[in-house]
Structure 1
């Protein structure tokens, strides 16, 4: 007996689906679901205009998806799975999904890789004083620029990682390829886990006071709100860099 593909709906900024789903991905997606609309829906208030909504079982969401509250899900009574084609589902997922037993997954792990790569590249460029050299060359306007090469490079730098999150751990993993010292501050990480990652666990104040580069990877939580306030920034070394690729 032929198994019919599961009805699915794209919920994201209209037009974004063409960036996320190239022809190859669309063909693969078409093997497991049947999209009730080839184009994404961003304004769920207009869902009544689409046919077959009551049979939709899968939501493929992305940036621009509104909160999936009771009012929205009442129009989609058969939904049992949500696949978010982006990172955090904060602001989209509500308690209603858990109450109705809807399974939620996201591309957070995949999204973490390019963020970690960018962070690693930024740390390397900071250690090589890329931006300072650029500015000095601009000021010199083509004349000879004297660069203190002894102070340019990453060897021996101390890198402080705030938050052993998925991205934070990927950054630490990449930093192990350099001759640098890595510190990490995370209240949920113990010394043994930090050592396994290739870092030394320290308190936040010590990390701020001793690091050449501080990279933030803490999640948005009440406990991290204003984590780096004026007092925290004042504890950083003169000339240190603060890199924030978190929220």
Structure 2
């Protein structure tokens, strides 16, 4: 391609800001924003609809659409797929590499807002904010007794960027922090007062269990009926990571039976498995559940950051370079004979 030719970048996410559009245009990119049906995200688009949108695209900034081998094989012009986010279980990274394309994620863009969201859920559930407002709406000002986060034991499952952000925020609550993680950073853990334990001990000892692990075959359904049974009856579960980490049906049973005190949930199994929708609906109807629609990363500031990082990754590839190493999830250009 002529170095001075315009490149087409298609964005299939909502909330894409003017400043990032201007950045792309300043790098000779024509920007096309997908027209999504009201209330729908790109994860609901069919393969045929995506092919039509992306047929002449050089770059694609994607949200939750499934990036499959079948789809990519129909898009020979497409060079780079950048997620406005960090989870990439819906991207077939092997296919991206095999077909000579680049896949990227927006590392560092939403760490702060998701960590904030996790703390918000901890506090809202502990202080029974939803239950209190429901009672007030019904005309009762009866005071419900909540629980402190101050000096409680919080178990963090996964100490990546977001998990570490949660640990930092908990310092102000003088919390005792337990953690389960793959490869502990002992120096950082000592500095932050984090004790590394196994999952059984974390579940049995924690007043709050907060999930920040990636979804992998090893972590799928990590929190199942047996895990929930190990938790204190006064404990709460917070999940701002991925729905597949938790057996939602088992969580529903535990909450209804009073085996744990409450849950703060930003993610659900039904996001990837529609057969679980009825379980999700029952969960979010419970008074001791605070639920949000996978919106932890959707602050104004967080979206601006992730938009810009995704756009920078696209520009880097289209200009013959590479995104920051931490952002690259697949790079198959060498297989296509590129430099």
TM-score of the superposed pair, with normalisation by structure 1: 0.77
Larger Rg: 1
Q: Deviations over 1:166-213 (max 9, x none)?
A: 221211121122211111112332544532454111111111111111
Q: Find the aligned partners of 1:155 and 1:200 in 2 and give their Cα distance.
A: 18
Q: What is the match of residue 59 of structure 1?
A: 60
Equivalent positions of 1:82-121 (< 5 A) are 82-121=81-120
Equivalent positions of 1:92-241 (< 5 A) are 92-131=91-130, 133-134=132-133, 141-142=140-141, 145=142, 152-189=147-184, 191-241=186-236
Equivalent positions of 1:27-42 (< 5 A) are 27-35=22-30, 37-39=32-34, 42=45
What is the number of equivalent residue pairs in this alignment? 233
RMSD: 3.3
TM-score of the superposed pair, with normalisation by structure 2: 0.58
| 1:112–1:50 Cα change, 3 Å | closer
Q: Find the aligned partners of 2:17 and 2:208 in 1 and give their Cα distance.
A: 38
Return the offset for 1:231: 1.5
- Larger RCO (CA under 8 A, 6+ residues apart): 2
| 1:192–1:45 Cα change, 3 Å | same
Q: Find the aligned partners of 2:92 and 2:219 in 1 and give their Cα distance.
A: 21
Structure 2 portions without partners, runs of 5+: 36-41, 243-339
| Shift >6 Å, 4+ stretches | 47-52
Q: Say whether the 8 Å CA contact 2:153–2:208 is kept in structure 1.
A: yes
Q: What is the match of residue 45 of structure 1?
A: 48
